[in-house]
């Protein structure tokens, strides 16, 4: 417990420093990010639309390129469509939003492109839907399981337990709701924190990636809460 707390403090301190630094992609405006969306369903499609509206450049991808082309056209000039490999190569930051049983395939097919990339992992394991992969991930913990399936990626777990339908109105709510996140890489957390704020939430780091096991639906951190409520709940978790 002491080690986890020490790691949390180290990550939080680094995030405070790094969050003030611009993270600009090649060819992007200062502070804007090229984001590759691996999965463009309800959550991935909503997140990509909101980030494009905030000025980031987004590439949607899934197993249905025609769907992604239509989605990109509906979003506007900051959005485009491509294959998952094209999106993984395009993005300085990647968002993986697929059913958890698909994550092993994502890791195998895109592994060489994921190494060193900031990866926001929104994927949640469910035993009933995701079979043995889901059961294994729930036992191991979603954060550590994702890290094993996506080796070399700088993973931050977030956007895991809030409905996609709540996201478009987040910026209009006052005060802001908190968005819990877990990760081991301070710079990746800083990038993810900036993107979380662009959606309209206040990022709350609950600890290292191992704490990602608490960022699934049905846990005490599920649903929307204030940043202070998230911190109080996180302090009781192991």
Residue-wise pLDDT tens digits, 45-75: 999 999 999 999 999 999 999 999 999 999 9
Question: pTM to 2 decimals?
Answer: 0.88
Residue 39 has pLDDT above 60, yes or no: yes
Look at 22-26, 89-93, 164-168 and tell me which has the smallest mean pLDDT. Answer: 22-26
Write down the CATH superfamily of domain 2-234.
Answer: NAD(P)-binding Rossmann-like Domain (3.40.50.720)
Nearest Cα residue to 8 out of 202, 180, 217: 180
Segment 111-140 shows an average pLDDT of 96
Distance separating alpha carbons of residues 101 and 174, to the nearest angstrom: 37
For residue 29, name the pLDDT band (cuts at 50, 70, 90).
low
Segment 177-202 shows an average pLDDT of 97
Residue 19 has pLDDT above 90, yes or no: no
Main-chain dihedrals φ then ψ at residue 151, nearest 5 degrees: -60, 135
Q: Residue 201, CB half-sphere, CA atoms under 13 Å: how many?
A: 29
Domain boundaries, the chain: 2-234
Distance separating alpha carbons of residues 87 and 99, to the nearest angstrom: 18
Residue 17 has pLDDT above 50, yes or no: no
3-state secondary structure of 169: helix
Residue 136 has pLDDT above 60, yes or no: yes
Segment 166-181 shows an average pLDDT of 94
End-to-end Cα spacing for the chain: 7
Segment 220-236 shows an average pLDDT of 95
Residues 6+ apart with CB under 8 A from 185: 118, 154, 155, 156
Residue 147 has pLDDT above 80, yes or no: yes
3-state secondary structure of 95: strand
CA geometry: angle at 117 spanning 187 and 195, to 5°?
55
**Quick one: pLDDT at residue 53?**
97
- Give all strands (DSSP E) within the chain, no chain letters: 34-38, 57-61, 79-81, 93-96, 118-121, 154-157, 178-183, 202-207
């Amino acid at each position: 417990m002491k080690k986890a707390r020490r790691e949390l403090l180290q990550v939080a301190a680094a995030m405070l420093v790094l969050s003030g630094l611009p993270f600009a992609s090649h060819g992007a405006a200062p502070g804007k990010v090229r984001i590759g969306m691996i999965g463009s369903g309800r959550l991935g499609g909503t997140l990509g639309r909101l980030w494009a509206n905030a000025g980031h450049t987004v590439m949607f991808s899934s197993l249905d390129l025609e769907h992604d082309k239509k989605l990109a056209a509906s979003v506007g000039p900051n959005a485009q469509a491509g294959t998952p490999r094209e999106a993984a190569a395009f993005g300085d930051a990647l968002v993986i939003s697929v059913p958890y049983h698909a994550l092993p395939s994502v890791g195998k097919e895109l592994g060489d492109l994921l190494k060193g990339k900031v990866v926001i992992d929104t994927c949640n394991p469910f035993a009933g839907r995701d079979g043995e992969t889901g059961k294994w991930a729930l036992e191991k913990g979603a954060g550590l399981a994702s890290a094993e399936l996506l080796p070399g990626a700088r993973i931050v777990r977030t956007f895991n337990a809030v409905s996609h339908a709540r996201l478009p109105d987040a910026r209009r709510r006052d005060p802001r709701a908190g968005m819990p996140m877990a990760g081991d890489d301070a710079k990746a957390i800083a990038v993810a924190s900036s993107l979380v704020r662009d959606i309209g939430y206040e990022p709350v780091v609950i600890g290292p990636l191992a704490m990602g096991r608490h960022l699934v639906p049905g846990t005490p951190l599920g649903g929307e809460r204030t940043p202070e409520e998230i911190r109080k709940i996180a302090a009781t978790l192991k």
